[in-house]
A = this chain, B = another copy of it.
Amino acid sequence: MKRKVCVVVTSRPSYSRVKTVLTALSKNPNVEFQLVIAASALLDRYGSTINFIEKDGFEITAKVFNVLEGENLTSMAKTTGIGILELSTVFDNIKPDVVITIADRYETMATAISASYMNIPLAHIQGGEITGNIDEKVRHSITKLSDIHFASTEKARENIIKMGEDPEFVFNTGCPSIDIAADILLKPELDFDLYKKYGGVGSFPDIRNGYVVVMQHPVTTEYSESKKQIEVTLEAVNSINYPVLFFWPNIDAGADGTSNGIRSFRENKKSDKFHFFKNMESEDFLKLLYNSKCLIGNSSVGIRECSFLGVPVVNIGSRQTKRERGKNVIDVDYDIVQLKNAIDTLLKSGKRERDFIYGDGKSGELISDIIATVPLRFHKTLNY
């Protein structure tokens, strides 16, 4: 009998990260693949990730609306509570043999609790990483609820084992987001019109002579700061002599601050240099990055995919602190001078050396193969 493997996707970045896992699972002859879409991945104002998922040909097993509006810390907790109420019903209906949860966003805890409390073996992608930000609590807490671990780096695998997990169930598979980056390299040329199909706000500047990309998320612990932080970045990139392709932030406490900062900049400056995107398919986004002068912001894509691709990155603030990184990254504070200097340096230096810390581009297949055959259990003990 086929093993029923259920993946719960709750956001746009999670989907991008595991897309090759989903593809591999849906083709795996030993797997009955179940896909649950939840939280902001369903919502229009966070880019309707569900539409991309359906366009990519995946069949949705269940949808779970659980985002409680408010964008404050209390509503993040409550969103997680509602997620548990809803996901436990879904699991009860579709009876998966194993559930896969992704990374460390707050609402992924709902997946972890529902599955583990219902004695369903739980697998976790991208545990064990040290990043220094608030997501660590959720990330490591999910590790302790999980039975099977798919770490993205060797060091992450070691950390998971140190935390007391049985090495037999901890695998360094690399990060599946790198798989997509690997595909980009097969046909790296940018179709300069592609990005127009994504709409967005602002003129479409001519990017054929180079451009920079900006992606900056609010930082949960500092959410009152998020408006100020985005203003520093906007001021710095406004002074660059290249077009600026700007991506909208994640849903998170603080997202309102970031959004407001972007909106008032847009209304005050009305610069033709800027274009604002809500969302982009990950392949197109990576191709855009690969052909850009540099990426500016605090997205993990700068640390992971860009190291594999050799794209220069200015990483701002604490969001990626402590994450393992390649030689492509310059780190700066939310400081206008530091930030401008770093951008200047990278704009002069051009492409960087590639790095394979986060995998070699075959992670999706690997995870799919392991999950189809690994012994399943939902009972474990500290391995000390």
Contacts and interface: CB of A to CB of B under 8 A. Distances in A.
Contacts of A106: 117
A78 B84 contact: yes
- Number of copies of this protein chain within its complex: 4
A78 B84 CA distance: 6
Contact of A78 (B44, B65, B379): B65
Looking at chain A, what size class is its interface with the partner chain? Answer: 35 or more
A27 B99 CA distance: 39
A237 B132 CA distance: 54
Interface string A62-97: 000111111111111110111111101101110000
Contact of A86 (B44, B89, B137, B145): B89
B162 A80 contact: no
A381 interface: yes
B144 A137 contact: yes
A116 interface: yes
Contacts of A91: 74
A136 B381 CA distance: 6
Interface in A195-246: 221
A89 B94 CA distance: 14
Most buried by B among A68, A106, A159, A162: A68
A140 interface: yes
Nearest to A107: B117
A163 interface: yes
A84 B80 contact: yes
A114 to B, nearest CB: 5
A93 B145 CA distance: 29
A35 interface: no
B159 A384 contact: yes
Nearest to A64: B89
Contact of A69 (B43, B114, B134, B221): B43
Given A67-B69, A109-B113, A163-B164, A379 B84 contact: no
A70 B65 contact: yes
Contacts of A93: 93
Contacts of A73: 117-119
A70 B43 contact: yes
B82 A77 contact: no
Given A44-B256, A164-B162, A380 B137 contact: yes
Contact of A113 (B72, B80, B114): B80
A234 to B, nearest CB: 19
Interface of A: 40, 42-45, 65-78, 80-86, 88-89, 91-93, 106, 109-110, 113-114, 116-119, 130-132, 134, 136-138, 140-145, 159, 162-164, 221, 256, 322, 378-382, 384
28 contacts: A40-B69, A43-B69, A43-B70, A44-B256, A45-B45, A65-B69, A65-B72, A73-B117, A76-B117, A77-B84, A77-B88, A77-B117, A78-B85, A80-B84, A81-B82, A81-B83, A85-B86, A109-B113, A131-B381, A132-B381, A134-B379, A140-B164, A141-B141, A141-B144, A144-B144, A159-B164, A163-B382, A322-B381
Given A80-B113, A162-B384, 16 more contacts: A65-B72, A74-B88, A77-B114, A80-B117, A81-B83, A86-B89, A93-B93, A109-B113, A119-B221, A134-B379, A136-B382, A137-B380, A141-B141, A162-B162, A221-B378, A322-B381
